[in-house]
Structure 1
Amino acid sequence: MKFTFIHKALLFSVLLAIVGWGVSEWIPPRLSATTPDATAIGDEHDHEHAEEGEEAHADPTGHEDGFDHEQVPQHAEASADVDAHAGHDHAEAEGHTESLIALTPAQRERVGLRIAVAAGGELTSEINLLGEVQMNEDTLVHLVPRTPGIAESVVVEVGDRVSQGQVLAVMDSLELGEAKAAYFEVYNEVGCCTIDLDRARIIAENTANLLADLKAEPALEELRGREYGDMGRYRTLLFSAYADFWVARNGLQRREKLFADKITTENDYWEAVGGFEKAKAEFLTAQDTAAFESSLEVIELERQLRTNQFRLRMAEQQLLLLGIDPHRLETLRSFNGGQASHEEVCTDPNCEDCAEHSGDAAHAEGEHAEGDHVPFSRVEILAPIAGTVVQRHITRGEWISPESEILTIADLSTVWVDFQVPVRDLGRLRPGQTVEIANGHDGQAQGVVRLVAPVLEGEGRTGTVRVVLDNPAGAWRPGMFVTGRLLHSEQGGAVLVPVTAI
């Protein structure tokens, strides 16, 4: 069946009638000023005419116009009275009356109309930011050798995770080797001086004990039966002088008895007296010499030990300045404050137990690495922190100077996110605020504002806002561009209405 032009016109008229009927059912004829979201319709009048209209048409009951006033707010009633009066004036002037319509709750629900009271409150605004992930410079380490040398080996690559104290590279340094040799020389001097000082103290103590016994002038047989320990050369000196003194004293006593009995001559008597005085003088001299020299040796060795200890500390500081591991020096410190660790000092040069005191320094250095002898010029570059190697500027066989940056290690468990913020938004940002960060690849996290830069940067005159972001899984890589979102709340006295009501 073919549709003619007349048939098409009739069909269009029917559809238009159906649409008109549906619109009349869903849309009310007119929204009056009695609802909070409606606008009063009418011409503007001057102030005096409006006041006269309000006095003339005020209706205390509010039922003459057919409105359901229980559903209309008080301020809407006042507006309705004014508009009603204005409509009444227009009706008189134009000769017709326009009725007002109030919406029932069901009708308001159908059209989505909601009544709310405008009031003051907290205004929340959203600040959108653009930024870039940066390495946390607080956990970033640039490794620079403290001594020049040649790179022997490099055991890490970019991206390797390292632990604190791990060997990263090995160098050969002539300067460090000379410093180690000087340190070991002074170290051995301190060890030998400590041994000599302990022995001198023992000799001085034993000599003092013998001198105290000699004051009682015991018999030689009794004196020889006593044990005084190590006295060095003072034992022979004192025993010999005391023996001469003891013989001369006994000889004088016999000569005195013989001279009294007129058995010997006077010359023999005076000769015996002279021999006794001479032996006595030599004995007294030997006592003073032994007491003085034994004490003097202790004092001189103490002074020498303090000097060598100071030199040892200076040599240690030199090694530390050249970058040697402080823990390696622990194997060389066999003395406690310059004193021997053994209570008794062995004087046998072949004793193996005393090797830590009198052995060569190379043996002490070799104890650091599984008993092997480590070259004095060996320099180990150790990782100062646990992290990831992010840069490497060292190659095997390369000459490394103290100014060369050979490795960079970063702890990426936390990163910085630097946002460039316009001046208009800088005043609304404060340290401690929470920022929602996204990378555009389903990665979202929250960070805390740490820094709001006090100066502007770049041609755009923007300020840097730095956010600290936890990165335990390493998903936030330095150099990644991200977006930030911050909700800023302001407390003010302005009247607030929903955005949908505008």
Structure 2
Amino acid sequence: MKNKTLLTVLSIIGMGLLLGWFILQMKPPHVNEKSTPSANQQAQTKTNSPEEKYIALTPEAQQKAGIRVKVAGPVQIKTVLELPGEIQFNENRVAHVVPRVEGVITAAYKHLGAPVEKGELIAVLESRELADLKSQYYTAIKRRELAQITFDREARLWREKVSAEQDYLAAKTALAEANIVVTAAAQRLLALGLTQDALDTIPQESQSKLSRYPIRAPFDGRVVRKHVVRGEAVKADAELFMIADLSTVWGTITVYTEDLNQVHLGQKVTVRSEELGLEATGTISYLGYLIDAQTRSTQAHVDIPNPEERWRPGLFVTVEVAEKKIPVPVAVAAEAIQTYRNQPVVFVQHGNGFEVRPITLGRRSGNGQWIEMVNGLSAGERYAADNSFVLKSELGEAMAPQ
């Protein structure tokens, strides 16, 4: 029994010794240096991140792609104030043509959009009222002629002591009254737009022409509205034509109260139309004195030369008012800015290649040529200006999944 117990104890001890020997013979686990990146490797990974990707490009390839390099540095940026506006007729060169007498249109020579010259005949009206006025003028002239003959006779007889002075004075008074009647009749015709030359021809006119009323253009321009056709009966105040001189137009702009100190009479401004791709320089000729209670704004007018008549009334425009020139320490050409992963970037030259540099944008010049760099780029650094989109394309191909 004792021998059996001793054998069991020895067996357990032997198994323990054997297990301990195996444990001592086992090697510590091998640490794979590549499985845990070092600090330098982490820094290298960050350097090769898309945000700081380096694009190698030889000078020959750069020249072939048309990539032009510029140096970032200080620039004078002219800031501008953009105001909404609309093209309108120059109200100083617009005329509403009305007949001034009632009648019937017998001829309309100009169609809508037709050019006209000052004094050109554009329509003819037959008016009974005009015929009556011309008849009154003709009658007044004939009576004055008779009064003149009577006066000349009475003056001669009075000088010869044949007639009494009373007859002479009566004839003189009658002549003066006849002159007054002629003058009054002439004034009524002149008020209708007839010229003195036209009045002088009335005694020679036939009865059929007494009612003829010619309607003429008041100045050089273009027919922009027409409200008359042949045979139409019109009243004295009816608008027959609207004629506008489109050689100059107004850019009517809305100026808010907070911008009033930056807008002045005689100021040069730039007017742009994005819809038609037009641009012109004009001068502010009027600045309103009243502020609208609802919009808290006033209106200003810009005189815009329009020799080709491309600026059309009703067209919406943007008016750029130059404020001042501001020096900025670092600016780049606007075409150098690219967007990568929803962030503005520039491509900075290093050796035979370019580095993608995230930037923070600042103010933009009024002509859009320069953009201020707030962060990301220092003065003196060289960057890709022209055709920088080629580098963006190369960057996109490099980052594409293989």
- TM class by shorter-chain length? 0.5 to 0.7
Distance 2:70 2:98 in 1: 74
1:130 aligns with 2:130: no
Counterparts in 2 of 1:433 and 1:393: CA distance versus 1, 3 Å: same
In structure 2, distance between residues paired with 1:383 and 1:460: 39
AA at the equivalent of 1:365: E
1:340-489 counterparts in 2 under 5 A? Answer: 361=203, 364-365=204-205, 374-440=208-274, 441-457=276-292, 460-489=295-324
Distance 1:185 1:385 in 2: 34
Residues 227 and 239 in structure 2, CA contact (< 8 A), matched pair in contact too: yes
Pick closer, same or farther for the CA change 1:461–1:113 going to 2, 3 Å: closer
Task: Give the aligned partner of residue 148 of structure 1.
Answer: 102
Q: Hey, what's the Cα distance between the residues in 1 that align with 2:121 and 2:109?
A: 8
Give CA-to-partner distance per residue, 1:80-118, whole Å, 9 cap, x none: xxxxxxxxxxxxxxxxxxxxxxxxxxxxxx99787x8xx
Instruction: Report the number of matched residues.
Output: 277
Task: Provide the identity percentage.
Answer: 27
CA contact (8 A) 1:134 1:479 kept: yes
Based on CA coordinates, which of the two structures has the bigger radius of gyration? 1
Is this contact kept in 2: 1:450–1:466, CA < 8 A? yes
> What is the distance in 1 between the residues matched to 2:267 and 2:292?
22
Tell me, in whole angstroms, the C-alpha distance in 2 between the residues paired with 1:312 and 1:111: 84
Instruction: Quote the offset at 1:141 in angstroms.
Output: 0.7
Shift of 1:148: 0.9
Change (3 A) 1:113 1:397: closer
> C-alpha separation between the residues in 2 aligned to 1:374 and 1:479?
45
- What amino acid is aligned across from residue 419 of structure 1 in structure 2? I
| Structure (1/2) with the larger helix percentage | 1
1:479 alignment partner AA: G
Cα offset for 1:475?
A: 1.6
Mapped contact 1:391–1:408 kept (Cα < 8 A): yes
Once residues 172 and 385 of structure 1 are traced to their aligned partners in structure 2, the CA distance between those partners, rounded to angstroms, is 23
Mapped partners of 1:111, 1:313: distance in 2: 81
Structure-1 residue corresponding to 2:199: 329
Separation (CA, whole Å) in 2 of partners of 1:331 and 1:111: 79
Change (3 A) 1:472 1:459: same
Are 2:373 and 1:500 aligned? yes
The offset of 1:203, in angstroms, is 4.5
Q: CA deviation at 1:402?
A: 1.7
Displacement of 1:321 in angstroms is: 3.3
Q: Which amino acid aligns with 1:320?
A: L
Q: Which runs of 5+ in 2 are unaligned?
A: 1-33, 53-68, 331-371, 376-402
Relative to structure 1, is the Cα distance of residues 458 and 400 closer, same or farther in structure 2, using a 3 angstrom cutoff? farther
Classify the secondary structure of the residue corresponding to 1:472: coil
State the Cα distance separating 1:449 from its structure 2 match. Answer: 1.0
The correspondence of residues 52-201 of structure 1 with structure 2, limited to 5 A, is 124-201=78-155
Q: CA RMSD in A?
A: 3.7
Shift of 1:398: 1.4
SS for the counterpart of 2:238 is: coil
Distance 1:314 1:111, change over 3 A: closer
Aligned to 1:33: none
TM-score (norm 1): 0.49
Secondary structure of the equivalent of 2:104? strand
Give the equivalent residue in structure 1 for 2:188: 318
How far apart, CA to CA, are the structure 1 residues paired with 2:186 and 2:138?
10
| SS, match of residue 373 in structure 2 | helix
